[in-house]
């Protein structure tokens, strides 16, 4: 998942690729039989859930991975992300 986090950062920050294109690219990578992904189900859930909102992609990936590992709560300092049921705002 760290590679996907880095990929998201590079595509957003350096190449200014749109959110939709990034999600489509990740979805296509998941389908490639030559590649293996750690926590593939969390990655698939991430690509589905990220299409329905405007929360930060990296935050959503982290939250989906944490939930897949059994974490009940993901704490964030991001007020916008804390509005999602995936997060709780740090106080």
pLDDT in tens, 36-66: 999 999 999 999 999 999 999 999 999 999 9
Share of the chain above pLDDT 70, in %: 100
Inter-axis angle of helices 40-50 and 19-31, to 10 degrees? 150
Residue 78: band (very low, low, confident or very high) from pLDDT cuts 50, 70, 90 = very high
Q: φ and ψ at 79, to 5 degrees?
A: -60, -35
Model pTM? 0.91
Residues spanned by the domain of 50? 2-89
Please tell me the total count of domains within the chain.
1
Long-range Cβ contacts of 5-11 (<8 Å, 24+ apart): 5/58, 5/61, 5/62, 8/57, 8/58, 8/61, 9/58
């Amino acid at each position: 998942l760290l590679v996907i986090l880095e990929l998201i950062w590079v595509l957003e920050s350096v190449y200014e690729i749109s959110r939709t294109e990034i999600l489509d690219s990740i979805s296509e990578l998941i389908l490639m039989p030559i590649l293996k992904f750690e926590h593939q189900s969390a990655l698939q859930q991430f690509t589905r859930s990220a299409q329905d909102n405007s929360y930060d992609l990296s935050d959503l990936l982290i939250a989906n991975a944490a939930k897949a590992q059994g974490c009940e709560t993901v704490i964030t300092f991001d007020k916008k992300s804390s509005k999602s049921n995936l997060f709780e705002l740090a106080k």
